[in-house]
Amino acid sequence: MQETNGIALMSQWYLEGMYIIQQLNAICHKHNLSYDQYLVLEQIIEEKQNTPKQIADVFKTSAPASSRKINTLQRKRFVRKLRDIDSDQRTVELEVTDEGHRQYDAVRQELASKDRHFIEADIEHLRAIKAL
């Protein structure tokens, strides 16, 4: 019975998580972003993760998947790729444009105004599920 309870709780957690993600996406869509795209901008702006490889590593995804996210942001003119860094054409660094900063800041302000409070215990619960 304990195992069935755990599976039901995991399913409930997943459904609640999906609801939160839908809400986050709804906020971001007002600013021509998905929540995933917002998180990429956040990594570049706040965490100084400004290469495609760093973005792929942070999101634990493949280089092509990371490139697709970055290319979408580039098409929207939210980021630009800087090449020929250190005289190496293969090296690419990412830079957020003024418009990218405006949209990022607008989403960040709206998220802050929603007054959602997450605590460290919430993160620990997610890590426990991740360890399964």
Helical packing angle, 2-29 and 35-45, nearest 10°: 80
Q: What is the CATH number of domain 2-130?
A: 1.10.10.10
pLDDT score at 132: 58
CA distance 74 to 70: 6
The per-residue b/e assignment along 113-126, b for 16 or more CB within 10 angstroms, e otherwise, is: eeeeeeeeeeeeee
Cα 47 to Cα 10, 32, 124, distances in angstroms: 31, 22, 21
* Digitized pLDDT (tens) for each residue of the chain, 132 residues in all: 556 677 888 888 888 889 889 999 999 999 999 999 999 999 999 999 999 999 999 999 999 999 999 999 999 999 999 987 777 767 889 999 999 999 999 999 998 887 666 667 766 766 776 665
pLDDT score at 87: 72
